[in-house]
Amino acid sequence: MRRKKYAIGMLVFLMVLQLLSLSTAIVAAAEAPKEGAAQEAPKEGAAKEEAGPVFEAPKLKPGDYPQTSWFNSREAVWVASQVHLFFGAFVLAVPIFVLVIEGIGVGTKDERYDHMSHEIMKVTMTAFSLTALSGGVLTIFLLLFYPDFFKYLVRLFQPTVIIYAFAFLGEAVFTYTYYYSWDALRYGTKKWIHLTLGLFLNTFGLTILFIADAWTTFMMSPVGINADGARTAESIWELIHNPLWNALNLHRFIANLAYGGAIVGAYAAYKFISSEREEDKAHYDWMGYTSNFIAISALLPLPFAGYILMAEVYAYSQQMGITAMGGIMAWLFIVQAVLIGAVFLGANYYLWCGMGKISGAERYTPYIKLIATVIICAFLVWLTPHTIVMTGKEMKIIGGSHSPLLGPLGIMPAKNTAANTMILFTFLSFFLYRRGNKGLTVPWAGTGTTFMSAFFAVAWLNIIACGLYGYLVPTAFKVRSSVPQVLSTLSVIVVLLIVDGLMQKNSKSLGPIKWGKMSPRSQYALFLLAISFTWLMALMGYIRSALRQHWHIYTVMRDASPDAFTPTIGHAVIVATTATVIFMGLVIFCFWIAHISTMKQAPIPGIAGASESHGRKHG
């Protein structure tokens, strides 16, 4: 009862905090001075009359940005927004696959799925509270240090801000209801009521994501306003549905699923290492595998979603696209390659270690060295830059601004080939893990295996051939040659899963899966995944935001603050790392809270006896 009262109190506190911050922003926007605004009514002959008062983006000066001597205001907003984004991604993704896992448990009538989804949701409860708190801190920082810009954006998107506030309240209500009603709505018809609560929870969560993405992408690709920032859109939908909105929605949704799986996998690894009983180790081993499976399933299509996003950036503004891939941000993509390589290698290593606990999987052990070699080679190609910073003497030694040997590996045909190769062979690791203890009984098993091997080989050769073809054609065709590479990769995943699924019908087991018999070092691979994902999100978030350069709203509202410059790569990495360390520290706190909630102090005999006698006296 005390825990439920605490939860209700926390819920009310979070609601009040979020409503206060958002209502303050709305009121401030409504009372904002109309500097530079057109006060007169629209002239006659206009196509359509604007709804509401006409206002323009304020023309800001350095003095319009309050400063403090305690810390750098830009970096404070940077870190606060990134930490809030981390938590937002986590609390959005986890309820989605918790609902899916719970649904699987209902379909299979396997209680393990229900217990696992309930425990995962327990970790989310503390994270949800920290999401609201970090959102409140971010809102306060924006009001303090970027008041005019924030008021203008809130005023422009005022209907969505109100919807966002109610969506947050809805998510808060359904989050706590979904979790605390778990045991009360566990079986029979009541279980379907519980699944419905989870569906409503995720509906509100996705609404929050899509609204926030509308604000973010509008700052990069504004539509529905003129050059002075005055609204010309007939409806709020024109502002929301800007050129980058759908692409960012897709990319963030997939990335959030992969990220949530990685964080839950880290929690499972933490519990696995700290558990002493064999049954607990088996349970958390299984949880780690399930979380890693979700992370890998979302990781495989994630580069394609990123490709779509960057293609839309190029389509909207070639200047932003060139700045990202060929300008000042290009070296951060080398750092990105290192982190993505760590993610792929960590995911594969975990699968390879897991094959040691599967009876019959030893027949695939010789292939692990081949897969590892190919992935490492593709990783090295991916991180090879086209040009590097060199002195005049160094350029004279190698004969130019880039190496004649390694330089060709730094352009897009090689990068696309390497990325698709890493995805393809990561899928192969999962494919072998999946069929590790399966003995095929269908009469066409040999033919089916030969067909899948040939299909895989032909698709990989096509990826390499398209990459080589990219060196022989103009730049416009280099981009087009990546399309058949993507189709080859996706076709392998789809075809092999379908054919192997048919082959495994009525298959016999070659032995049990020994859950809990994983080496401790395999669990550190799950920690590596979580940290690499977090760091990667921080760096890529900076790149996306920095493409606007000295603009609050690209080409419309200039950033006149003293910090309106692009920081050095080293400084950007330090700030991104600071946000990563803060978030991971708070995640460890969430893990500790979830762990300590399961612990019970042994009763003290004297106190216990006193309590019993006290109860009899007043009974």
Task: Of 204, 94, 215, 248, give the one whose Cα is nearest residue 149.
Answer: 215
Q: What is the pLDDT of residue 14?
A: 47
**Model confidence at 86, in pLDDT bands (50, 70, 90)?**
very high
Residue 146 or 618, more confident: 146
Query: What is the model's pLDDT at position 218?
Result: 94
Q: Is the pLDDT reported for residue 49 higher than 50?
A: no
Average pLDDT (455-471) is: 91
- Determine which of 81-85, 351-355, 510-514 has the lowest per-residue pLDDT on average: 510-514
pLDDT-above-70 percentage for the chain:
86
| 568 and 378 Cβ atoms separated by less than 8 Å | no
pLDDT digits (tens, 9 = 90+) for 198-212: 999 999 999 999 999
Characterize the bridge pairing of strands 551-553 and 557-558. Answer: antiparallel
**What rounded mean pLDDT belongs to the chain?**
83
Residue 129 pLDDT more than 70?
A: yes
What's the pLDDT at 370?
A: 92
pLDDT at residue 608 in the model = 53
Distance CA 271, CA 265 (A): 10
How many Å apart are CA 157 and CA 138, to the nearest integer?
Answer: 18
The predicted pLDDT at position 399 comes to 72
pLDDT score, position 191: 92
Two structure tokens written together for 136: 């409140």
What does the pLDDT read at residue 512?
Answer: 82
Lowest mean pLDDT among 17-31, 329-343, 358-372, 481-495: 17-31
Residue 89 neighbours by CB distance under 10 Å: 24
d(CA 152, CA 158) in angstroms, rounded, equals 10
Paired strand residues for 438: 509
Separation between Cα atoms, residue 121 and residue 202, nearest integer Å: 13
Q: How far apart are CA 99 and CA 101, in angstroms?
A: 6
Residue 250 — very low, low, confident or very high, per pLDDT cuts 50/70/90?
A: very high
Least-confidence region, from 13-17, 98-102, 417-421, 452-456: 13-17
Neighbours of 118 (CB within 10 A): 17
- Position 527 pLDDT exceeds 50: yes
pLDDT at 32 over 50: no
C-alpha–C-alpha distance, residues 515 and 278, integer Å: 9
Q: How many CB atoms lie within 10 A of CB 167?
A: 20
pLDDT value of residue 469: 85
Residue 242: pLDDT over 80:
yes
* Position 67 confidence tier, pLDDT thresholds 50, 70, 90: confident
Q: Given pLDDT bands bounded at 50, 70 and 90, which one contains residue 33?
A: very low
- Which helix (H) or strand (E) segment holds residue 25: the answer is helix 2-30
Residue with tokens 């921080």: 538
CA proximity to 25, closest of 213, 154, 215: 154
Q: Poorest-confidence range of 37-41, 265-269, 297-301?
A: 37-41
Task: Determine the straight-line distance between the first and last CA of the chain, rounded to whole angstroms.
Answer: 20
Higher pLDDT, 587 or 510: 587
Q: Are 536 and 340 in contact (CB under 8 A)?
A: yes
At 619 the pLDDT is 44
Q: What is the DSSP letter of 231?
A: B
Q: Over range 559-581, report the average pLDDT.
A: 90
Q: Which of 35-39, 65-69, 482-486, 498-502 has the lowest mean pLDDT?
A: 35-39
Please list the alpha-helical segments (H only) found in 408-474.
412-434, 445-469
User: DSSP letter at 358?
Assistant: B
Average pLDDT in the 524-537 region?
A: 90
Question: Per mean pLDDT, which of 394-398, 406-410, 462-466 is the most reliable?
Answer: 462-466
**pLDDT, tens digit, 9 for 90 and up, residues 133-185:** 999 999 999 999 999 999 999 999 999 999 999 999 999 999 999 999 999 99
Summarize pLDDT for 326-344 with one digit per residue, the tens. 667 777 878 888 888 888 8
List the single range of 291-295, 384-388, 430-434, 583-587 with lowest mean pLDDT. Answer: 384-388
User: Are the C-beta atoms of residues 50 and 42 closer than 8 Å to each other?
Assistant: yes
The tokens 């060196």 sit on which residue? 471
Measure the CA angle with vertex 408, ends 406 and 409; round to 5°. 70
Token pair recorded at residue 361: 């999987």
Three state DSSP letters for 87-152? HHHHHHHHHHHHHHHHHHHHHHCCHHHHHHHHHHHHHHHHHHHHHHHHHHHHHHHHHHHCHHHHHH
Rounded Cα gap, residues 538 and 59, in angstroms: 30
Quick check: 255 and 89 in contact, CB under 8 A? yes
The tens digit of pLDDT for each residue in 367-393 reads 999 999 999 999 998 888 777 666 777
Q: Give the pLDDT of residue 182.
A: 92
Q: What is the mean pLDDT of residues 41-62?
A: 60
Q: Is the pLDDT of residue 586 over 90?
A: yes
Strand partners, 557: 553
